[in-house]
Chains A and B, each alone.
Chain A
Amino acid sequence: MADEAQYAIRSDTDVVFVRQAGRKLAQELGFAGSDLILIATAISELARNILEYAKLGEVRLCPVERDGRQGLTVIAEDHGPGIPDVALAMQDGYSTSRSLGLGLPGTRRLMDEFTIDSRVGEGTIVTVTKWIT
C-alpha cells in the first residue's frame, strides 16, 4: 500500500499541489473516474479553508483499508481560531454566506465519511474518507 504523505498549506499554490497529489495517490489506490475529481475537489476545499481561516496548516493523505476495502483518508489540520459553532458551520445555508462560508456541508457530500473536531483558540481537524466502490 502507498505511504501516507503530508503537505504544508501556506499559499494558493499549495492548494493546487496537494489536490493534484491527492488525485494521483487516489488513482494509485484504484479510484477511477469521477471519484478522482470528487476527492481532488474535497482536498481543494479543505486546503482552502486552512488558508482562509488559519493561514497555515497541513493536509495528510492516508491510504486506508477496512474489511478488505481500500480507501483514502484526508486529514486537514490547523491551529487557527477554531469554529465557535460547528453545528452552524455544517448547515448548508451557512456555507453559502460569503464571509463565513466554510464549504463544509458540500465537502461532506463529496466524500463517504466526515468528522470535524474544532476548538476555539486551538484549531480544527477535519477528517474525510472515500472508499472504492
Chain B
Amino acid sequence: MRVPILKQGPYLIASVQSALTDQDLVQLRDELADRVGKSRARGVIVDVTVLDVMDSFATRTLRTIAHVIRLRGAETVIVGIQPGVAFAMVQLGLSLEGVETALDLEEGIAVLNERLRATSGAVPDGG
C-alpha cells in the first residue's frame, strides 16, 4: 500500500497507514528522495505508529531513507515506534543508529524546528 506524503510548511510527512511490503518501502524511499527536492523540504517525518513489525528490511530501508534525505540536504525523523516493536528490534539486533527518532508526530516536528532554527541561526540574515 502506498504511503501518503503530505507537505506541512517546510516539512514532508509520510504517515504509514498499514503494513508495508518491501516494495512499498522501496517506493517510499524513492518518492521521498524525489519529493524532498521538488518541494524544497527542509525535513522529513516518517510516522510508523501503525507498524507492528519492523524487521531487518524495514529497519535497513528507514536507515537508507534518512541517509538519502540527508544527502539531499534535509533531515529525517522517524516517529511512533511502538514499545513492543522497539523491544523486538533490540532483540533482533537492529538499530537506527545515526537516525533521529521521536515519540510522536508532535515531538518529531519539534525536533525538526529545533534543527531548522540551529541551521538558520548559523547563517547571517541576508547572507
Interface residues of A (CB under 8 A from B): 12-13, 15-16, 19-20, 23, 33-34, 36-38, 40-41, 44-45, 48, 92, 95-96, 101, 103, 105-107, 109-110
Interface of B is mostly: helix
Decide if A107 touches B92 in the complex (CB within 8 Å).
yes
Instruction: Beyond A23-B52, A45-B55, A48-B55, list 20 extra A-B contacts (CB 8 Å).
Output: A12-B22, A15-B22, A34-B83, A34-B84, A34-B88, A38-B87, A38-B88, A41-B53, A41-B54, A41-B85, A41-B89, A45-B92, A92-B93, A103-B92, A105-B93, A106-B91, A106-B94, A109-B92, A110-B88, A110-B91
In whole angstroms, what is the CA distance A52 to B83 when docked? 28
Known contacts A12-B22, A19-B53, A101-B56; A110/B92 CB under 8 A: yes
In whole angstroms, what is the CA distance A109 to B22 when docked? 23
Q: Which residues does chain A contribute within 8 Å of B91, judged by CB atoms?
A: 38, 106, 109-110
B residues 77-110 in Cβ contact with A at 8 Å: 82-85, 87-89, 91-94
User: Which residue of A is nearest B82, CB measured?
Assistant: A37
Hey, what's the 0/1 contact readout for B39-76 against A, CB within 8 Å counting as 1? Answer: 00000000000001111110000000000000000000
Q: Which residues does chain A contribute within 8 Å of B84, judged by CB atoms?
A: 33-34, 36-38
In whole angstroms, what is the CA distance A24 to B21 when docked? 18
Chain A min CB distance to B51 (Å): 10
In whole angstroms, what is the CA distance A13 to B21 when docked? 6
In whole angstroms, what is the CA distance A37 to B89 when docked? 10
Decide if A41 touches B88 in the complex (CB within 8 Å).
yes
Q: Which residues does chain A contribute within 8 Å of B55, judged by CB atoms?
A: 41, 44-45, 48
Interface residues of B (CB under 8 A from A): 19-23, 52-57, 82-85, 87-89, 91-94
Q: Which residues does chain A contribute within 8 Å of B57, judged by CB atoms?
A: 48
Chain B min CB distance to A100 (Å): 13
Decide if B56 touches A103 in the complex (CB within 8 Å).
yes
Chain A min CB distance to B102 (Å): 20
Task: From the candidates B19, B20, B56, name the one contacting A48 in the complex (CB within 8 A).
Answer: B56
Q: Which residues does chain A contribute within 8 Å of B53, judged by CB atoms?
A: 19, 37, 40-41, 44
Chain A min CB distance to B55 (Å): 4
User: Which residue of B is nearest A20, CB measured?
Assistant: B19
From B19, B55, B94, name the one whose CB has the most chain A CB atoms within 10 angstroms: B55
